């Protein structure tokens, strides 16, 4: 059962601040406050769904289109050597926030990723990176 009080639901309602990258009628993208690399963005649907098994086909299509759009902007803005896309379903798979989301994680050769969900970064550090990504949106 979907928890209306999960952190992403609260972000969507404006109850918790975030560094926004993009928003449209069906999706929302924002900087991960516990980034695995510089430029780590999360994409979520506005539809309440715990995981891929609960999300409607329309919600999934919208989330994938936004994920691709943001990934292209990350690539253009930050010029990483690669981009890792991740999506977890259920606690056993590593999901820690139970609102479906995609991670867009830029990767550079020889630069290790930070551990998932371990080190919090301040919004002031994330905002300049988000500004670059927003400027690269096509």
Asked if 101 is an active-site residue, the reply is yes
pLDDT in tens, the chain (138 residues): 899 999 999 999 999 999 999 999 999 999 999 999 999 999 999 999 999 999 999 999 999 999 999 999 999 999 999 999 999 999 999 999 999 999 999 999 999 999 888 889 999 999 999 999 999 997
pLDDT (tens digit per residue) in 110-137: 999 998 888 899 999 999 999 999 999 9
pLDDT at 117: 82
3-state SS, residue 30? strand
pLDDT at 138: 73
| Domain that includes residue 105, residue range | 7-136
| Residue 20 buriedness (CB in 10 A; 0-12 / 13-18 / 19+) | middle
pTM: 0.96
Task: Kindly state whether residue 2 falls inside one of the protein's structural domains.
Answer: no
Which CATH number belongs to the domain containing residue 24 in this structure? Answer: 3.30.428.10
Q: Which residues pair with 138 in a beta bridge?
A: none
pLDDT at 21: 98
Count structural domains, the chain: 1
**Cα dihedral across residues 115, 3, 23, 87: positive or negative:** positive
Catalytic residue among 40, 99, 101, 103: 101
Cα–Cα distance for residue pair 24/45, rounded to 1 Å: 10
**Residue 29: DSSP 8-state:** E
3-state SS, residue 34? coil
Task: Kindly state whether residue 89 falls inside one of the protein's structural domains.
Answer: yes
Distance of CA 108 to the CA centre of its chain: 18
């Amino acid at each position: 059962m979907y928890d209306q009080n999960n952190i992403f639901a609260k972000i969507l309602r404006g109850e918790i601040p975030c560094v926004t990258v993009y928003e449209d009628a069906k999706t929302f993208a924002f900087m991960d406050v516990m980034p695995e690399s510089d430029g780590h963005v999360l994409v979520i649907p506005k539809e309440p769904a715990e995981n891929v098994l609960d999300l409607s086909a329309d919600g999934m299509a919208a989330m994938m289109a936004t994920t691709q759009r943001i990934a292209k902007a990350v690539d253009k803005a930050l010029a990483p050597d690669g981009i890792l896309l991740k999506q977890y379903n259920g606690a056993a798979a590593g999901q820690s926030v139970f609102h479906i989301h995609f991670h867009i994680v830029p990767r550079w050769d020889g630069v290790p990723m930070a551990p998932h969900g371990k080190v919090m970064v301040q919004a002031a550090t994330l905002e300049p990176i988000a500004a670059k990504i927003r400027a690269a949106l096509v």
